[in-house]
Amino acid sequence: MTELGEKLVRSKDIFYTFAFSKTKTTNERKKNIHIPNRTARYRFSQTGFVVINDQLYSDRSRKKCHENGFGLLDLQSDNHTWVLSRLAIDLQRFPSEKDTLCIETWVESVGTTFTTRSFHIKDGHGATMGYATSTWAIIDMQTRRPVPLNTLPALQRFVVNQTTPLGEAPRIPDVNGKVANTFSVKYSHLDMNKHANSLYYIQWISDCFPLDFYLKHAVQRLELNFMKEISYGDEGEILKEENAPNDFSFQIATRDKGISCKARIVFKRTTEFFVC
């Protein structure tokens, strides 16, 4: 038996209708994303993986965490919280107009400090479009130190013996590049943990390239390593280094805290853009 629900979600100035599907398998969650028009397609491409990244963590995943005692609000009641440590997304193709995007997610492993959540991204016909993998930790909100995951034995029950071709999200080496962008964290950039939402990291990195570049390139792979929190009022800069043709590394650093995040984006040449 399948439970369906619909929600209208606003992402920037684009509206998407999501159909949520809960299957018999407890550990699997699916979400369908309908991309309605040319404007959505254009913005989807130009912002890289911002939209996909935003949808990887569905309402159903958060609800299931809450039901089993390791949701964000449950953790915060004990002065703990989830933090994203690493993320890698690799797409074989971007969605086309009016595509349906189905994202299947599961807990791949639970270690002493980190847990891995993986994702299989498909189109409406079930064909693979890409994969993603993410590494998470729980930290004490006062000490900012990791909390051992064996304090959440229920988490082990959700481990699925399934991997992706990506393996674990890789470590990104130091970046020796030039300043390509600057940033200043404002109230609208903050998440529930009162630090900058990871979507803005991707936007700051995406803005390191001019529009002409995006008219000829599409993002194929994105990697992120989060090292330090970026908070309200922080200011900093993004370094960009070209590793190889269409392969770039980035380093986000604040003036007071130093390196906060490292990233890598691999592009592919394309002409499949709809200019509005």
Q: Is residue 161 located within the same domain as residue 273?
A: no
- pLDDT at residue 158, rounded to an integer: 83
Q: Is residue 148 located within the same domain as residue 125?
A: yes
Q: Report which listed range, 91-95, 135-139, 207-211, is most confident.
A: 207-211
Last residue of a domain, which of 143, 169, 195? Answer: 169
Q: Is residue 103 located within the same domain as residue 52?
A: yes
Confidence band for 71, pLDDT divided at 50, 70 and 90: low
pTM for the complete prediction? 0.78
- pLDDT at residue 179, rounded to an integer: 98
Distances (CA, A) of 28 to 146, 194, 240, 241: 27, 30, 37, 38
Q: Is residue 19 located within the same domain as residue 95?
A: yes
Question: How many other CB atoms are there within 10 angstroms of residue 68's CB atom?
Answer: 14
- pLDDT at residue 81, rounded to an integer: 82
Let me know: does 165 contact 131? Beta carbons within 8 Å. yes
Can you say how many angstroms the Cα of residue 269 is from the centroid of all Cα atoms in its chain? 23
Last residue of a domain, which of 169, 200, 229? Answer: 169
Q: Is residue 154 located within the same domain as residue 241?
A: no
Closest of 178, 155, 165 to residue 106, by C-alpha: 155
Alpha-carbon dihedral sign for residues 115, 86, 117, 71: positive
User: Average pLDDT of 49-53?
Assistant: 51
171-205 confidence digits (pLDDT tens): 999 999 999 999 999 999 998 778 899 889 999 99
Q: Report which listed range, 61-70, 79-88, 223-232, is most confident.
A: 223-232
Q: Is residue 34 located within the same domain as residue 150?
A: yes
Whether the pLDDT of residue 82 is over 90: the answer is no
Q: Is residue 69 located within the same domain as residue 105?
A: yes
Q: Is residue 196 located within the same domain as residue 143?
A: no
Q: Is residue 176 located within the same domain as residue 152?
A: no
Find tokens 């003036």 and name the residue: 255
Whether the pLDDT of residue 9 is over 70: the answer is no
Domain enclosing residue 75, as ranges = 1-169
- pLDDT at residue 70, rounded to an integer: 61
Question: Between residues 169 and 105, which one has the greater pLDDT?
Answer: 169
User: Average pLDDT of 142-166?
Assistant: 86
Of the ranges 83-87, 123-127, 219-223, which one carries the lowest mean pLDDT score? 123-127
Residue type present at position 233: G
Question: Between residues 255 and 80, which one has the greater pLDDT?
Answer: 255
Q: Is residue 153 located within the same domain as residue 181?
A: no
- pLDDT at residue 77, rounded to an integer: 66
CATH of the domain at 164: 3.10.129.10
Distances (CA, A) of 113 to 207, 225, 228: 33, 16, 16
Write 10-16 long-range contacts (CB < 8 A, 24+).
11/51, 11/54, 12/43, 14/39, 14/40, 14/43, 14/51, 16/40, 16/51
- pLDDT at residue 143, rounded to an integer: 85
Last residue of a domain, which of 140, 169, 198? Answer: 169
Of the ranges 60-74, 138-152, 226-240, which one carries the lowest mean pLDDT score? 60-74
Q: Is residue 48 located within the same domain as residue 157?
A: yes
Distance CA 221, CA 100 (A): 20
User: Average pLDDT of 18-31?
Assistant: 37
Number of domains in the chain: 2
Whether the pLDDT of residue 95 is over 90: the answer is no
Q: Is residue 9 located within the same domain as residue 123?
A: yes
Instruction: State residue 186 phi and psi, 5-degree precision.
Output: -115, 175
